Each structure stands twice: as C-alpha cells, then as structure tokens.
Structure 1
Amino acid sequence: MTQITVDPTDFRKAMAEFPSGVTVVTTLDENNAVVGFTASAFSSLSMEPPLVLVCPALTSATYPHLVRNQRFAIHILAADQQDLAMAFASKGADKVSALDWGMSDLGNPLLKGASCVLECTLWREYEGGDHAILIGQVQRIDRAEGGVLLYHRGKMTNHAVSEIAA
C-alpha cells in the first residue's frame, strides 16, 4: 500500500475552512482548582443516550484530570466570550485564577455567561492520533438565549441569533 503524506500546514488550513463553535471544557484538578481548555473539536454524537464528544490534545494539562474525575462541563461560549476562550487556550496553571465561576450540584466548575453548558460524565475514551476522543454522557443542560462564538479561518467571530425559525 502506498503511504500518502499530507502536509500538516495544508491539513490545518483545510480544517480551518469548516466553521465551528467554540467551547471551553472544565473540570477540577487534585487541589479543587479549575482546569480546562478551549476546544473546537466538539460534536453531538447520540440522542439515546445523550452523548457528545470532545477531543483534548494528549499533551493538554487538563486531559489527565478529565479522565481521573470522570466528569466535566462543556461550555458553548456566548458571542462576547472571546477573552474566556483565549484564557483557556493559553498554557500555564494560573490562566484562570481570576475568572468568575461556581460549582454545580454535580461537582463541575461552571463558568458564568456561556450560551449553553452540558455537564457530562465520561462514557468512553478512545485514541485519536495526537488527541484523545472523550465521549461524555450528558447529565444536565443549562441554556441561555443569545449569540455564540464561532471559529473560522483562525479567527473568532460573533454569530448573532437568527430571527428565522427553523
């Protein structure tokens, strides 16, 4: 079989052509401090049971905590939360120390102002190259009205709520 090699830069540019929502995934570390990462690799998976998937890099400092805790919250960011997305996209242990958050009844750290929050338990974990594929079973949903933050061609943009009914 012939080995096909795809240039990583070309692959990244090709994937940037697909607009995606911006999410922040949070859990707690062993000291009960909030840890998390910004993810555009997020998708619904199943209605019954309600499953979603999110894909952290294997090198993510948050990844081991997600697996250890077996629970996490996925925040679909509101249109005005680009600063929050950038904070969680950065490296370093103190990146979120000044953020406004609270603890849910299910034991997940929740960030204020998200368009939607899905609280999940870890249902399955799979290998996915340089990322893990984590499947979460949704335990609780909290939705708000308003626009969402989108990521397209390396930039985050505000996506207003459409007035047209689907």
Structure 2
Amino acid sequence: MNTSSPRNNAQFDSAHFRQALSQFATGVTVITTRLADGTFRGLTASSFNSVSLDPPLVLWSLRTAANSMPIFSGNSHYVINVLSADQAHMARLFSSRGTDPFTQVEFELSRTGQPVIKDCSAWFECHNRSRYPEGDHVIFVGEVEHCAFAPREPLVFHDGKLGGLHTPI
C-alpha cells in the first residue's frame, strides 16, 4: 500500500492521485438535457452524490474545459440517469465523440421535456439550482423536482472498468 502524502512530496503526482481515486467504486450516470432548439445533449459522469433530503438536492461535477460546459451551465433543467448493469454500452456511447447517442438510445421526455433514458436504475429530474467552480471542475447542484427508480443491478465503475455490482469487473 502506497501511503505517500502530497504534503511530503516536493511535487504532487496527479497520475498517482487519479490511480488512488480509481479504487473508489462509483455508480455511473448519464446527464441529459434539451437545448432551446430541441436538440438533446448528454454526457457520462460518475461524480454523482446526494446532498440534502430537505430540500431534495443532488450534485455532480463537470470538467471546466469540457465542450458541454456552456450547455449544462446555461440550461434550467437536466436529468441524471443512473445506469443499470446492462447499460455499460450507454456509458461508452455518451462518453464518445462524433455520433449522436440519442439516435441509438430509447428515451422518454420528462415533465420539462428533458430526455429520460429507459430502463435505468433511477433518474432524477433537476432544476439547475447552483454551480460552484472548484479546481478544474464545476460542481452542479440540482434541486430534484421528480424522480423514479426500478430495482435493477447498478452499473459500477472501479479501477477504470465498468461492471455490475454482482458481476465480475
């Protein structure tokens, strides 16, 4: 076990930090939204967490330099789709460039017209309540206006690999 501390190092090793973070298993989400012109946009994110029950708040983060930053900063609503174990292909699809993932994914529209991916473990329709720049990311806090869930095995990301909670990664 490597226990080196950034305080003890003359220069912080970002690659080592990233590798250490990869040891924390997370769920996998696809954040979706609809632009004013009707175009759908989405991205894969594993930085999702609950914040508060009253009011109902959740958070996720996005790299400041991401091409989709203006889209998610400027829209009033988005949906956080928690992927199920059999949806690993969607995580890859929404993290790749060059194709429109919405042509390959079944979805419905939420109450505010946002895309909700079918067969997810859960989804949270959020009002884009606040944003906090921190380091090289922006933390988005969403106020949940509506949510739903289905008891499905979740998709998990650990050590750079996707898998199910009960299936080998």
Does TM-score exceed 0.5, indicating one fold? yes
Equivalence for 2:3: none
Q: Percent identity?
A: 34
Matched, 1:76 2:46: no
Q: CA deviation at 1:40?
A: 0.7
Equivalence for 1:24: 30
SS of the aligned residue for 1:113 comes to coil
Equivalence for 1:106: 112
Distance 2:34 2:67 in 1: 12
Letter in 2 for 1:76: V
Report if the CA contact (8 A) 1:78-1:114 is conserved.
yes
- The gaps in structure 2 that reach 5 residues or longer are 1-6
Report if the CA contact (8 A) 1:102-1:111 is conserved.
yes
Q: CA deviation at 1:122?
A: 1.0
Equivalence for 1:59: 65
Equivalence for 1:159: 165
SS of the aligned residue for 2:103 comes to coil
Q: Which digits, 9 at most, give the CA deviation of each residue in 1:43-88, with x for residues without a partner?
A: 1011111111100112223221222212100011011000000011
Distance 2:61 2:11 in 1: 23
**Farther off after superposition, 102-111 or 147-156:** 102-111
Distance 2:100 2:159 in 1: 28
Distance 2:101 2:109 in 1: 18
Report if the CA contact (8 A) 1:87-1:96 is conserved.
no
Equivalence for 2:14: 8
Q: Which digits, 9 at most, give the CA deviation of each residue in 1:75-107, with x for residues without a partner?
A: 110110000000111123624332212211122
Distance 2:44 2:23 in 1: 18
Q: CA deviation at 1:33?
A: 1.9
**Farther off after superposition, 95-104 or 10-19:** 95-104
Q: CA deviation at 1:30?
A: 4.1
Q: CA deviation at 1:42?
A: 0.9
**Farther off after superposition, 136-145 or 104-113:** 104-113
Which residue of 72, 78, 87 maps to 2:93?
A: 87
Which residue of 34, 40, 54 maps to 2:40?
A: 34
Q: CA deviation at 1:155?
A: 0.3
Report if the CA contact (8 A) 1:78-1:149 is conserved.
yes
- TM-score after normalising by structure 1: 0.89
Equivalence for 1:46: 52
Equivalence for 1:120: 126
Q: CA deviation at 1:132?
A: 0.7
